[in-house]
Amino acid sequence: MKTCHTLAAIVLGASFLLSAGCSSGSADHAVPTAAAIAESDQTPVRGREAVLTVYGMSCPLCANNVDKTLLQVPGVQAVRVDMGTGRATVTLDGTTPVTRGQLARAVDRSGFSLQRIEAP
């Protein structure tokens, strides 16, 4: 009986992992398409500041995930998140070029949904 359970568990586990791996592409479509479009955007942010509207930051720790991933983008100097409006204000150092796509990919990696990027 226990052997059957073990086998069943292994089969279920394997199918679970396979389904996760095979659907990795579709997982990206679960977030708003605005994010996917922006990720390929090579348009440089020309000013010193960009404002990103992000959905799903429901708590302070969530906001911190966005902070951290945006700060990993070369050229990003500071990030300020307003959880009430979902707006993340990104300050650039002005020396390293930053594209909209880089900012969009950072938000995607944080696990939240980018709605809009406002930048010069």
Instruction: Show the tokens assigned to 38.
Output: 């922006």
Residue selected from 34, 49, 51, 64 as contacting other proteins according to rule CB under 8 A? 64
Taking CB under 8 A as the criterion, the residue among 22, 60, 95, 120 binding other proteins is: 60
Find the binding residues for other proteins in span 75-94 (CB under 8 A).
76-86
Could you say whether residue 32 binds other proteins (CB under 8 A)? yes
Of 45 and 114, the one with the shorter C-beta distance to other proteins is 114
- Which residues are near other proteins by CB under 8 A? 2, 5-6, 8-10, 12-13, 16-17, 20, 23-24, 26-27, 30-32, 53-69, 71, 76-86, 108-113
